A and B are shown apart, each in its own frame.
Chain A
């Protein structure tokens, strides 16, 4: 049944590796993405890795569906053979709670934990960047300890500051730009997550390993 190939208009196809959020499925997504980036086929435009699928954009003037499918199938075969590079490990300093983490106490209370326990659990885990998406640079991270799972806000905030670290269900994530948002905000990083003059423009990329390091407010001043 998987992988399966689905049309997304006349110039893109979706390769689905499963229908659940799972590290093994995500690894297959990244492996195909890596194979295509190492040996791009003529007419390949760009790829968008997500939890369980890869969106492959191709030039509709150069490639029919069958051509694109053929190239992607070849890359899929190569991806099973070529080892992936080790993921980058990124530490992100976070100021938890206070004005920077207005929902920290809610997350603690609704899970029967103290605020310190929430911080210890959140900063004690290692996360994988599943995808960047929705808004520029927004990082969806997998690996949140089950005891921190918290539903989203019933009504999204009109504006969540850039650098905010939030929890939604069993996921945690980082807002790279100030946007509306419904995640429970537990802290904020002063790390620049999105810099438009850089290429690539984001600090994180899919597959990276992330650890949060608690810092005190003021510790980052003068950067």
Chain B
């Protein structure tokens, strides 16, 4: 059987190939990248029978239009951008059979920022340093290091033959993360929380911040009450993990997201816990607001473990 291809008719506002990222290269200055809402991508992959880290599409705000050259099985999770197949609305968080020649498109955005499309067999672009994730600033990974555009052809890996039988598998509604346009993000103070005054910490963990329109896959820039530094607004540059909250001299926090720089010279007041990164990733720049709540490391590890268990929901085999 010929290899299936997804033909790109419209690219959408910003659609990139992402998997669960490119860990192991931060020491060379290479960010992890990968799906911003990694949970939604992992669920979508499970719905179509892929390993959780197979490459899919991260679809931002406005969806693409795609045509399948062979029968395929897809699942769309994350933000609700009104999934349609041949013009008919289809359910999300569920595997959907797509006939040869059918067109997958999206309509109105109902909520959220990023939808994830997984396809049985995964998107088979060549891996770069062990990952198919697109890193736009470095112009590598994914499809030639860039977003999709009309005329692109995405190769799909080998899929099982019984696709029709696998359609209709659904992720239980009540297990979907508590996405919100005003999420409360749990965060672990440090490593430089001692660079802030007690009032600065109180502000950070008490105030509400708007997500600025300049936010992107590198960082979510926030606007709100000034977080006051105590001992200096710069540090000697050190390593930056995913979710780290940097506070530059203007006192407006920036949360480091998937394509974050690997080192930085601003004090980091806290780190958003892994289990809440998906909630932030669905925050809409210019619209959503977030606030922060301090939690402990054991609590955060427990929540992350629970999140991982959700990927093995009872009927997922």
Q: Which residues of A contact B (CB under 8 A)?
A: 6-12, 14, 16, 19-21, 45-55, 57, 60-61, 64-65, 131-138, 140, 176-177, 179, 194, 196-197, 199-202, 205-206
Contact B261 A135 (CB under 8 A): yes
Closest residue to A135 on the B side, CB-wise? Answer: B29
Residues of B within 8 A of A16 (CB): 238
User: How many Å lie between the Cα of A179 and that of B239 in the bound state?
Assistant: 19
Q: Is the CB of B129 within 8 A of A55?
A: no
Q: Judge whether B27 and A47 touch: CB under 8 Å.
A: yes
- Give the residue of A9, A47, A51 whose beta carbon is less than 8 angstroms from that of B188: A9
CB-CB under 8 A from B31, the residues of chain A are 136
> How far apart are the CA atoms of A137 and B31 in the complex, in Å?
11
B191: interface (CB < 8 Å): yes
**Does B183 have its Cβ within 8 Å of any Cβ on chain A?**
no
State how many angstroms separate the Cβ of A54 from the closest Cβ of chain B.
8
Whether B239 contacts A196 by the Cβ 8 Å rule is no
Contact B238 A137 (CB under 8 A): no
- Decide if B271 touches A8 in the complex (CB within 8 Å): yes
Task: Say which size band chain B's interface belongs to.
Answer: 35 or more
> In the complex, are the beta carbons of B244 and A9 less than 8 A apart?
yes
User: Judging by beta carbons under 8 Å apart, are B300 and A10 in contact?
Assistant: yes
Q: Tell me the bound Cα distance from A134 to B300 in angstroms.
A: 27
Contact B244 A137 (CB under 8 A): no
Report B-chain residues with C-beta under 8 Å of the C-beta of A48.
26-27, 239, 262-263
- Docked Cα-Cα span, A26 to B136, in Å, equals 32
Decide: A60 and B274 in contact? CB cutoff 8 A. yes
B305 → chain A closest CB, angstroms:
6
In contact, B236 and A177 (Cβ under 8 angstroms): no
Give Cα A187 to B304, complex, Å. Answer: 47
Contact residue among B238, B241, B298 (Cβ-Cβ distance under 8 Å from A51):
B238
Contact B261 A49 (CB under 8 A): no
